[in-house]
């Protein structure tokens, strides 16, 4: 459901550039695949009967309005349950529908901060660093989907329900931040791990870097082997993390000689062949072209009316049955007003015309 | 109080280990499913040894180690000890599969087939079985054999280069919740078809799916996204700013020009007239100077004061909360988010509840983590084993 004229997210960056249809939100294009669009101005009194008929026809209603904004529009669980007691009403908000912060403004950045995830990210003497993209909000949405599915499984016996999902709580539940403080009054810091010794770390290659983990004794032997079994590192003392830390420069030299002439993919492949945890430090473009996701057909094709064939990040999980699929591109605003309001909900052409004139839809 | 509903009838056998596997099963357990965690006494879950540096070593009576990290991801689950290297244990597992709905594992792809327990075999025993595997790079493909953990996944998918390695287990949690959704979708599909199915979840692909718009930038614009730092693309202004004590910070984001004007009015008196700060991109260019100016306001206040003042002005702001902040957070406390658990070996502590607050069937902490093998008798009774037989199997090292 969108406001009349389309949601502001249609302009949310990153945007398409150049090729026909510049200025369209990539965010919108991706997150609204497979969805239909109806427009409705919920603030208009005339919208009420439309809204109620929509809700009455639904299994699930999802809202991300803060209580102060959504409740006056009738998007609260009491009102919705009256209209459709069998629907699962899902409210996703930054802090939940109750509590002193319930009407705080939030973005993905500020929620990452408040959820306790940001404090330990980044370098010790730099500001805490955020996770790229909009991943906090996305992950909360996936949590909501899990709860909704569970509620639908129970619906025959339990009936409809309301889900009050706080994005902050999704994150506050992670990484034992609360437990650690509760049991030892201790907390994490931004710092380099002290249990990591050379040659573990980033290896500079011809075309970038590879991350190689050398943490256990078995992994040291594998790394030794990988580097060509140089006699100077053959002594038993090199198995000790402390010894390797003190002689980091010599190890770095050996790593540079090995990795410098090779590509990051080669280095990672050779390391993995010896069961060393390793990976090229890929950019997103590197992953996009990489053999592993491509061999699994991870990137999926969808046909967009303006852009033509588009390849997008695909299924986060692959089923052995044809369940997941990209059927339609992101819709235009109100593209399905007629389908939904006229053909499915039984309003009339006259109704629609009148509502369009009044900008209710 | 009995809680009997379709969801509580769902029987899950979980080999889930580390964070991704344990947390996937945990979501289902918290929602009410009957979840059995299967561990081998010979190779117990390595999260048992992941104690924080400030905690003493703790052991269960049987001698296996236990710590808060492990207990936090294994609450609400029963525990069955099966020595999977033993053929008799694998037979017991197959008999349990016949009476279960879901099998979860996040082993590398060779493990279940090596035990003769891949999906072909298990669905032959139980055609209604929903089985999920969650290896780092996927079950198929030229790199499916790769040794992987969080670090490797972040590097390979491009997240580490874009934003640095996280010191948190971001990819694990993402894979875990995707896994839970996939299992639930599988169960719903089963209601329609009468058949189970298999889910192959590559942790790299699971986290890549959260960066869809960034991959479209690659695919459509031919752009390879650059590390954004704390600047949010599309914002009028954003960042993380020092407050009045060491290592205290407030995150601020102005989503549009109205927000920026209110921020300027509140905390940047010199900024609104300054043409260096006229547009979002010019603010990004002058970020060092703007940071200096804004910090002359924020460093006069605690992070909480800064947040509340900004919120009163209608601007999105949040304290960069550390463990103590989270523990004392009035929002979390007002919603009773923390739950007190009494653990047999670790004592009493608070752990987070579940965020899945359904009004009638909320996900919750049902009971504290069970000891290794604690529920052997109860679980094996489901396949007709008597308690004395269970003891015999324990003595024989099958359990």
Residues B3-25 pLDDT 10s: 889 999 999 999 999 999 999 99
The pLDDT assigned to A192 comes to 67
User: Which of A69, A97, A103, A110 should we substitute to test contact with B (largest number of B Cβ atoms within 10 Å)?
Assistant: A110
Measure the CA–CA gap between A228 and B247, rounded to whole angstroms.
Answer: 44
Closest CA to A317 of B241, B326, B183: B183
| CB of B18 closer than 8 Å to CB of B47 | yes
| CB of A50 closer than 8 Å to CB of A360 | yes
- B212–A161: do the CB atoms touch at under 8 Å? no
In this structure, what is the dihedral angle of CA atoms A118, A121, A122, A123, given to the nearest 10 degrees? Answer: 120
A150-173 burial string, b = 16+ CB within 10 Å, else e?
bbbbbbeebebbbbbbbbbbbbbb
Phi-psi region of A99 (alpha: psi -120 to 50; beta: other; left: phi over 0): left
**Residues whose CB is less than 8 angstroms from the CB of residue A145 and which lie 6 or more positions away in sequence, other chains included:** B181
Closest CA to B103 of B40, B7, B28: B28
Residue B355: pLDDT over 70: yes
The pLDDT assigned to B164 comes to 86
Measure the CA–CA gap between A182 and B343, rounded to whole angstroms.
Answer: 14
User: Other CB atoms closer than 10 Å to residue B387's CB: what's the count?
Assistant: 12
Residue A295: pLDDT over 90: yes
Measure the CA–CA gap between A39 and B200, rounded to whole angstroms.
Answer: 37
Give A-chain residues touching B157 at CB under 8 angstroms.
282, 287
Q: Among A116, A133, A154, whose Cβ lies nearest the Cβ of B211?
A: A133
The pLDDT assigned to A21 comes to 65
* Torsion sign, CA atoms B285, B289, B290, B292: positive
The pLDDT assigned to A19 comes to 59
Share of chain A above pLDDT 70, in %: 98
Q: How far is CA B264 from CA B72, B239, B251, B269, B316, in A?
A: 44, 14, 16, 6, 14
Measure the CA–CA gap between B232 and B253, rounded to whole angstroms.
Answer: 8
Residue A209: pLDDT over 60: yes
The verdict on ipTM greater than 0.90 is: yes
- A26–B216: do the CB atoms touch at under 8 Å? yes
Measure the CA–CA gap between A253 and A238, rounded to whole angstroms.
Answer: 15
Number of CB pairs, chain A paired with chain B, less than 8 A apart: 465
**Residues whose CB is less than 8 angstroms from the CB of residue A231 and which lie 6 or more positions away in sequence, other chains included:** none
pLDDT in tens, A231-282: 999 999 999 988 999 999 999 999 999 999 999 999 999 999 999 999 999 9
A271-303 burial string, b = 16+ CB within 10 Å, else e?
bbebebbbbbbbbbbbbbebebbeebebbeebe
Q: Residue A297's closest chain B neighbor by CA?
A: B141
Question: Is B50 at the interface with chain A, CB within 8 A?
Answer: no
Beta bridge partners of A211: A202, A279
What is the rounded average pLDDT for all residues in chain B? 95
pLDDT in tens, A38-56: 999 999 999 999 999 999 9
Give A-chain residues touching B350 at CB under 8 angstroms.
178-179, 182
- A132–B228: do the CB atoms touch at under 8 Å? yes
The pLDDT assigned to A306 comes to 85
The pLDDT assigned to A222 comes to 96
DSSP for residue B231: P
| CB of A277 closer than 8 Å to CB of A213 | yes
B28-49 burial string, b = 16+ CB within 10 Å, else e?
bbbbbbbbbbbbbbeebbebbe
Measure the CA–CA gap between B190 and A104, rounded to whole angstroms.
Answer: 41
The pLDDT assigned to A20 comes to 52
Closest CA to B271 of A190, B257, A293: B257
User: Is A234 exposed, middle or buried (CB count within 10 Å of its CB: 0-12, 13-18, 19+)?
Assistant: exposed
Phi-psi region of A297 (alpha: psi -120 to 50; beta: other; left: phi over 0): left
Q: Tell how far CA A326 is from the center of its chain.
A: 18
pLDDT in tens, B149-163: 999 999 999 999 998
Question: Is B309 at the interface with chain A, CB within 8 A?
Answer: no
User: In which element (H, E) is residue B199 found?
Assistant: strand B197-200
Structure tokens at B148: 């992987």
Measure the CA–CA gap between A283 and A327, rounded to whole angstroms.
Answer: 29
SS3 B375: coil
Residue A316: pLDDT over 80: yes
User: Which of B193, B251, B304 should we substitute to test contact with A (largest number of A Cβ atoms within 10 Å)?
Assistant: B251
Give B-chain residues touching A101 at CB under 8 angstroms.
330-331
| CB of B93 closer than 8 Å to CB of B105 | no
Tell me how close the Cα of B107 comes to any Cα of chain A, in angstroms: 15
A334-361 burial string, b = 16+ CB within 10 Å, else e?
bbbbeebbeeebebeeebbeebeeeebb
In this structure, what is the dihedral angle of CA atoms A198, B18, B92, A320, given to the nearest 10 degrees? Answer: -100
Q: How confident is the model at residue B165 (pLDDT cuts 50, 70, 90)?
A: confident
Structure tokens at A174: 């992670």
Measure the CA–CA gap between B211 and A329, rounded to whole angstroms.
Answer: 17
Give B-chain residues touching A287 at CB under 8 angstroms.
156-158, 204, 208
Q: Which residue has the tokens 């940001």?
A: A118
Instruction: Name the pTM for this structure.
Output: 0.96
The pLDDT assigned to A194 comes to 55
Structure tokens at A223: 């790394």
Residue A175: pLDDT over 90: no
Closest CA to B248 of B289, B327, B301, B291: B301
Q: What is the CA radius of gyration of chain B?
A: 25
pLDDT in tens, B96-122: 999 999 999 999 999 999 999 999 999
The pLDDT assigned to A300 comes to 95
Give B-chain residues touching A265 at CB under 8 angstroms.
none
Structure tokens at A337: 């007003």
Measure the CA–CA gap between A84 and B312, rounded to whole angstroms.
Answer: 36
The pLDDT assigned to A184 comes to 87
- A177–B206: do the CB atoms touch at under 8 Å? no
User: Other CB atoms closer than 10 Å to residue A269's CB: what's the count?
Assistant: 17
- A129–B229: do the CB atoms touch at under 8 Å? yes
pLDDT in tens, B207-262: 999 999 999 999 999 999 888 889 999 899 999 999 999 999 999 999 999 999 99
What is the rounded average pLDDT for all residues in chain A? 94
SS3 B63: coil
- B147–A275: do the CB atoms touch at under 8 Å? yes
Measure the CA–CA gap between B244 and B246, rounded to whole angstroms.
Answer: 7
Q: How confident is the model at residue B399 (pLDDT cuts 50, 70, 90)?
A: very high
Tell me how close the Cα of A194 comes to any Cα of chain B, in angstroms: 12
Q: How confident is the model at residue B278 (pLDDT cuts 50, 70, 90)?
A: very high
Question: Is B306 at the interface with chain A, CB within 8 A?
Answer: no
Residue A190: pLDDT over 70: yes
Measure the CA–CA gap between B329 and B320, rounded to whole angstroms.
Answer: 12
- A27–B213: do the CB atoms touch at under 8 Å? yes
For chain B, first and last CA: distance in Å? 32
**Residues whose CB is less than 8 angstroms from the CB of residue A222 and which lie 6 or more positions away in sequence, other chains included:** A214, A271, A274, A275, A276
A255-263 long-range Cβ contacts below 8 angstroms, 24+ apart:
A255/A198, A255/A199, A255/A203, A255/A204, A255/A227, A256/A204, A258/A203, A258/A226, A258/A227, A258/A228, A259/A203, A259/A204, A259/A205, A259/A210, A260/A204, A260/A205, A260/A206, A261/A206, A262/A205, A262/A206, A263/A205, A263/A206, A263/A207, A263/A208
- A130–B163: do the CB atoms touch at under 8 Å? yes
CA atoms within 13 A on the CB side of A319: 21
- B158–A168: do the CB atoms touch at under 8 Å? no
| CB of B98 closer than 8 Å to CB of B9 | no
Q: Residue A174's closest chain B neighbor by CA?
A: B173
pLDDT in tens, B119-152: 999 999 999 999 999 999 999 999 999 999 999 9
Residue B1: pLDDT over 60: no
Q: Residue B153's closest chain A neighbor by CA?
A: A279
Q: Among B178, B238, B361, whose Cβ lies nearest the Cβ of A142?
A: B178
Q: Among A142, A284, A286, whose Cβ lies nearest the Cβ of B181?
A: A142
SS3 A2: strand
Give A-chain residues touching B153 at CB under 8 angstroms.
279
The pLDDT assigned to B297 comes to 97
């Amino acid at each position: 459901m969108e406001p009349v004229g389309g949601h502001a997210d249609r302009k949310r960056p990153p945007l398409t550039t150049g090729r026909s249809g510049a200025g369209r939100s990539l965010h919108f294009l991706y997150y609204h695949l497979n969805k239909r669009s109806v427009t409705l101005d919920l603030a208009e009194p005339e919208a009420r009967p439309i809204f109620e008929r929509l809700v009455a026809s639904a299994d699930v209603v999802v809202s991300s309005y803060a209580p102060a904004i959504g409740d006056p529009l009738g998007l609260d669980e009491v009102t919705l349950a009256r209209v459709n007691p069998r629907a699962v009403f899902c409210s996703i908000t930054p802090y939940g529908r109750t509590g002193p912060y319930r009407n705080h403004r939030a973005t993905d950045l500020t929620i990452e901060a408040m959820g306790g995830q940001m404090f330990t990210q980044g370098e010790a003497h730099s500001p805490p660093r955020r996770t790229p993209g909009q991943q906090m909000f996305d992950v909360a949405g996936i949590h909501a989907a899990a709860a909704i599915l569970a509620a639908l499984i129970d619906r025959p016996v339990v009936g409809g329900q309301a889900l009050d999902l706080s994005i902050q709580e999704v994150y506050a539940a992670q990484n034992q931040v609360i437990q650690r403080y509760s049991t030892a009054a201790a907390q994490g810091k931004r710092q380099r791990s002290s249990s990591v010794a050379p040659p573990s770390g980033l290896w500079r290659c011809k075309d970038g870097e590879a991350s190689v983990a050398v943490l256990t004794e078995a992994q040291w032997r594998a790394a030794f082997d990988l580097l060509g079994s140089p006699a100077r590192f053959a002594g038993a003392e090199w198995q000790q993390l402390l010894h390797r830390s003190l002689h980091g420069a010599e190890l770095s030299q050996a790593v540079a000689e090995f990795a410098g002439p090779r590509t990051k993919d080669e280095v990672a492949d050779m390391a993995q062949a010896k069961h060393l945890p390793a990976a090229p430090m890929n950019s997103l473009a590197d992953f996009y072209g990489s053999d592993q996701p491509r061999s699994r057909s991870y990137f999926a094709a969808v046909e967009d009316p303006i852009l033509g064939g588009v390849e997008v990040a695909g299924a986060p999980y692959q089923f052995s049955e044809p369940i997941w699929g990209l059927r339609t591109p992101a819709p235009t605003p109100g593209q399905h007003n007629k389908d939904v309001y006229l053909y499915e909900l039984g309003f009339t052409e006259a109704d629609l015309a009148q509502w369009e004139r009044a900008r209710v839809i | 109080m009995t809680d009997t509903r379709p969801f509580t009838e769902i029987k899950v056998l979980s080999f889930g280990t580390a964070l991704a596997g344990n947390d996937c099963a945990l979501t289902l357990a918290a929602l009410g499913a009957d979840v059995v965690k299967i561990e081998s006494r010979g190779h117990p879950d390595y999260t048992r040894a992941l104690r924080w540096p400030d905690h003493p070593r703790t052991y269960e009576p049987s001698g296996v180690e236990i710590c808060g990290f492990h207990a936090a991801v294994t609450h609400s689950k029963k525990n069955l000890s099966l020595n999977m290297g033993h053929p008799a244990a694998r037979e017991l597992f197959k008999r349990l599969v016949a009476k279960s709905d879901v099998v979860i594992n996040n082993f590398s792809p060779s493990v279940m087939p090596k035990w003769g327990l891949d999906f072909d075999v298990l669905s032959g025993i139980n055609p209604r079985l929903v089985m999920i595997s969650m290896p780092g790079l996927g079950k198929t493909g030229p790199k499916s054999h790769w040794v992987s953990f969080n670090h490797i996944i972040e590097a390979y998918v491009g997240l580490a280069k874009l934003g640095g390695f996280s010191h948190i287990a971001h990819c694990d949690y993402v894979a875990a919740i995707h896994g839970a959704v996939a299992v639930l979708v599988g169960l719903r599909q089963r209601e329609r078809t009468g058949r189970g199915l298999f889910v192959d979840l590559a942790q790299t692909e699971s986290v890549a799916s959260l960066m869809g718009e960034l991959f479209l930038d690659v695919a459509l614009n031919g752009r390879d996204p650059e590390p954004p730092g704390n600047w949010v693309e599309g914002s009028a202004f954003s960042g993380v700013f020092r407050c009045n004590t060491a290592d205290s910070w407030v995150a601020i984001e102005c989503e549009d020009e109205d927000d920026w004007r209110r921020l300027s009015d509140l905390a940047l008196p010199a900024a609104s007239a300054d043409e260096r700060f006229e547009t979002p991109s010019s603010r990004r260019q002058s970020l060092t100077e703007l940071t200096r100016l804004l910090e002359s306001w924020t460093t006069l206040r605690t992070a909480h004061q800064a947040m509340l003042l900004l919120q009163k002005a209608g601007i999105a702001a949040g304290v960069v909360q550390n463990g103590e902040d989270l523990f004392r957070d009035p929002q979390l406390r007002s919603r009773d988010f923390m739950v007190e658990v009494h653990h047999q070996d670790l004592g009493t502590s608070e752990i987070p509840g579940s965020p899945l607050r359904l009004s009638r069937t909320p996900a919750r902490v049902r009971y504290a983590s069970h000891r290794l093998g604690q529920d052997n008798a109860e679980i094996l009774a489901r396949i007709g084993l008597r308690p004395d037989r269970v003891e015999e199997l324990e003595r024989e090292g099958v359990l």
